[in-house]
Chains A and B, each alone.
Chain A
Amino acid sequence: MGLISAGTSIFDAGALAAGNAGSLTFIKKLTASSSATLTFVGGASSVILDGTYKEYLFTFNNLHAATRSNFSFQGRDGGTDYDGPIVSTHFGLKHNEGANTYSIGYEGDRDQANTANFQILSNTSHTDDSDGLCGYLRIFNPAGTTYITHFMSEVNCVTNTPTVCSNFCAGYFNTATAINAFQFKFASDEIDSGDICLYGVT
Chain B
Amino acid sequence: MAVISNGTTIIDAGAISVGGGKETLIKTATFTNASTVAFIDGTDNVVMDDTYHTYIFKCIDIHGNDDNGRWAFQVNTAGASGFNESCTSNFFNARRNHGDTYSILGAVTGYDQAQGTGYQNISDTGPADGSAERTHAGHLTIFNPSNTTFATQFMAEFSDAMSDDYMIHSYVSGYFDVAAAIDEVSFKSSAGTTSGIIKMYGIGS
Interface residues of A (CB under 8 A from B): 3-8, 10, 16, 19-20, 22-24, 54-55, 87-91, 104-106, 108, 111, 113-114, 140-141, 144, 146-148, 150-152, 168-172, 174-176, 201-202
Query: A176–B94 Cα gap in the complex (Å)?
Result: 23
Cα A176 to Cα B99 with chains together (Å): 20
| Contact call B98/A140, Cβ cutoff below 8 A | no
The answer to whether A22 touches B100, judged by C-beta atoms less than 8 angstroms apart, is no
A148 and B24 form a contact (CB under 8 A):
no
A113/B97 contact (C-beta < 8 A), A19-B15, A152-B138 known? yes
B14 closest partner in A (C-beta): A8
List of B residues within 8 angstroms of A88 by Cβ: 96, 167
Q: Which of B25, B98, B157, B201 contacts A87 (CB 8 A)?
A: B98
Distance in angstroms between the alpha carbons of A4 and B16 in the assembled complex: 11
Pair A150/B22 contact, Cβ less than 8 Å: no
A5:B1 contact, CB within 8 angstroms:
yes
Inter-chain contact A146/B133, CB cutoff 8 Å: yes
Q: Which B52-100 residues sit within 8 Å CB-CB of chain A? A: 58, 60-61, 63, 94-100
Name the A residues within 8 Å of B22 (CB-CB): 22-23
B197 within 8 A of A: yes
Asked if A89 and B96 sit within 8 Å, CB to CB, the answer is yes
In the complex the two chains form, is A4's CB within 8 Å of B96's CB? no
Determine whether the beta carbon of B159 is less than 8 Å from that of A151. yes
B16 contacts A89, C-beta separation under 8 Å: no
Assess whether A150 is in contact with B135, with CB atoms less than 8 Å apart: yes
Encode B11-38 as 1/0 by CB contact (under 8 A) with A: 1111110000011110000000000000
Chain B interface mostly: strand
Given known A141-B61, A171-B167, contact A5–B11 (CB-CB < 8 A): yes
- B167-205 contacts to A, CB under 8 A, are 167-169, 197, 199, 201
Minimum CB distance partner of B138 in chain A: A152
Closest 5 CB pairs of A and B: A8-B14, A113-B100, A150-B137, A89-B94, A170-B169
Using Cβ atoms and an 8 Å threshold, which residues of chain A touch B99?
A: 113
Give the residues in chain A near B96, CB-CB below 8 Å: 87-89, 111, 113
Expressed in whole angstroms, the minimum distance between the Cβ of B93 and any Cβ of chain A is 8
B159 touches A150 (CB 8 A): yes
A91, A104, A146 pick with most chain B CB within 10 angstroms? A91
In the complex, whether B108 has a CB less than 8 A from a CB of chain A is: no
Do residues B161 and A5 form an inter-chain contact, with CB atoms below 8 A? no
Q: How far does the alpha carbon of A10 sit from the alpha carbon of B61 in the complex, in Å?
A: 33
